[in-house]
Amino acid sequence: MLNREDWIMIRKMRDKGCYLREIAAEAGCSEHTVRRALKRGGPPPRRRPGVRPSKLDPYKPQVDQLLSEGVWNAEVIYAELRAQGYRGGRSILRDYIRPKRALRKAKGGVDPSDRTVTGHR
């Protein structure tokens, strides 16, 4: 597939009177491709890749619910989601939880180092 710069080069060479064979050799494509590019009349439209939904997207409400209930362990949440049919990986789940964990600490949530173990001081 030709990009915008290739099309511009093809158009300039054709305007100078170059043969299709010369243009094809310079562009590194077939004469048919050059002919098609010239027939199109303009550079190819820019394509942007579509955004693919995450495997976690359908489960984000459940993750948020578990977080609001105080369940912050990614492995526990992962096990719960797997039981509900989640087929994604652990890392995407951890990546989703990580910024929320930082917000929780900023709001004054309990830091694990501040907890005391029963029977110890």
pLDDT of residue 108: 66
pLDDT of residue 14: 94
Residue 38's Cα: distance from chain center in Å?
34
Q: Please, are residues 8 and 43 in contact by the beta-carbon 8 Å criterion?
A: yes
pLDDT tens per residue, range 8-43: 999 999 999 999 999 999 999 999 999 999 998 888
Give 121's pLDDT tier (boundaries 50, 70, 90): low
Per-residue burial over 89-116, b = 16 or more CB atoms within 10 Å of its CB, e = otherwise: eeeebeebbeeeeeebeeeeeeeeeeee
Query: Greater confidence, 105 or 70?
Result: 70
Domain edges within the chain: 4-40, 57-110
Task: Taking residues 76-94, report their average pLDDT.
Answer: 95
What is the pTM assigned to this prediction?
0.51
Residues 6+ apart with CB under 8 A from 77: 63, 66, 67, 71, 93, 97
The answer for 111, left when phi > 0, alpha when psi is -120 to 50, beta otherwise, is beta
Checking if the pLDDT of 114 tops 80, the result is no
